[in-house]
Chains A and B, each alone.
Chain A
Amino acid sequence: MGDSNAMTERDEARLHAYHDGELPALARWRFERELRRRPALRGELVSLRALRGALQDLDESAAAPDLWDAVATRLPRSAVHEPARERTQQGRGAIWWLAPIGAAAATAAIVLAVVYGGLFATPAESGGSLRWIDSEGQSVMVLDDDPDTTIIWVLDGATEGASRGGPIDVV
């Protein structure tokens, strides 16, 4: 009788059959008793299981399954296919082209409002308004208390400048 630990072709065949669940009950019981007695056989079984696990992992990572079918079967029918909902979505698609036109029209409206000066301008009670001034560093007064008059008065010289806040003598 040879080394009981040595793997024979018969051992290998029974090992694969056991691993795949193909052995009848009595043969499986006898094989399991033999596994307890033969460490080499147990090692082969462990190796076989590890190899099968690695192959499964590789297979799962190589091709991600499309889960939609599995998910769709669990969803309510109305959520998966509902003709009315599809029609609504088609309707949305039909009017969606209005959005850019609406945006363009709104932009044009704002431009028109700004060009014609009415939308963002504060209604002026007086007849005039100063929009911008540069007095080249000189002291300047803007007097527009009178609704019919706007006075832009640059103070020439120290005398005129000294009278700021009160009546101004022109010379």
Chain B
Amino acid sequence: MTWSRVAAGLAASLALLGLCAGTAFADPQNPKGEGKGRGKSIQMRMMVTRLSNDGRGVDPKAKDLESKLSSQGIRFDSAEVLQKKQLEMGVGEVHTIDLPNGRKARVQPLHQGEDGLLMGVDVEGSSKADVRARPNHTVIFSAGPFRDGKLVLSLEPVESQSEPPK
């Protein structure tokens, strides 16, 4: 077999591979690529909580957060939920959260894929990060000191629901 025949065979194989890969990696749930732009909304639970050791106990709304943090060795005896809401955003859209300590946090969904939501988060004076999270995966950011305690920002993508027909 000559090199040119090998090259021709390789080219044909690559072409077939290209077609197969394009089919395999295309999102079967989303053949039109919705959600890549700003058209599809992304739901995300957001919560701002003050952690402290002032003996007031843990807010029932923060029980899950307290469990996640304490299991990683982060100790506190009080947790007070200061903000809790569900954000609705488009890919590329920036949502700004005004934190009680005067800082701002910015959240930007970057890409929604089968392996979750890639989002960029910027907590002023603390950290900036790009994190990918599947639905119901909680990403917790420390957001700086506040009133003898510490603020944390929790973000949790919500499983996308099929939109009702308009």
Contact pattern, B 104-118, Cβ under 8 Å of A = 1, otherwise 0: 000000010111101
Q: For B131, list chain A residues within 8 Å (CB).
A: 128-131, 150, 152
A165 to B40, CA, bound (A): 42
The answer on a CB contact under 8 Å between B74 and A103 is no
Given contacts A128-B133, A152-B129, A171-B148, contact A106 B74 (CB under 8 A): no
Interface residues of A in 79-115 (CB under 8 A from B): 92, 95-96, 98-110, 112-113, 115
Q: Nearest Cβ in chain A — how far from B128, in angstroms?
A: 5
B141 to A, closest residue via Cβ: A152
B22 touches A143 (CB 8 A): no
Q: How far is the CB of A138 from chain B (nearest CB, A)?
A: 7
Bound CA–CA A1/B28 (angstroms):
118
A63 at the interface (CB under 8 A from B): no
Q: Once the chains bind, are B114 and A96 in contact (CB under 8 Å)?
A: no
Q: Which residue of B lies closest to A168 (CB)?
A: B74
- A140 CB-CB contact with B under 8 Å: yes
In angstroms, Cα B16 to Cα A105, docked, is: 8
Question: Looking at the complex, which one of B72, B111, B133 makes contact with A146 (CB distance below 8 Å)?
Answer: B72
The interface-forming segment of A17-25, A40-48, A153-161 is A153-161
Contact size range, B = 35 or more
State the main secondary structure of chain A at its contact with B.
mixed
Residues of A within 8 A of B74 (CB): 151, 153, 167-168, 170
* Inter-subunit contact B19/A105 (CB<8 Å): yes
Q: Could you say which residues of chain A place their CB within 8 Å of the CB of B4? A: 92, 96
Using an 8 Å CB-CB cutoff, how does the interface string of B72-103 with A read, 1 for contact, 0 for none? 11111000000000000000000000000000
Contacts of B68 in A (CB 8 A): 146, 148-149, 151
Closest 8 CB pairs of A and B: A102-B11, A105-B18, A127-B137, A127-B134, A109-B21, A109-B18, A106-B14, A116-B25
Write the residues of chain B forming the contact surface with A, with a CB cutoff of 8 angstroms. Answer: 4-5, 7-8, 10-15, 17-22, 24-27, 51-53, 68-69, 71-76, 111, 113-116, 118, 125-142, 144-145, 148-150
Given A109-B22, A145-B72, 15 other A-B contacts at CB below 8 A? A95-B8, A102-B15, A103-B11, A105-B15, A105-B17, A112-B21, A112-B26, A116-B27, A127-B134, A130-B130, A131-B129, A148-B68, A167-B73, A171-B52, A171-B53
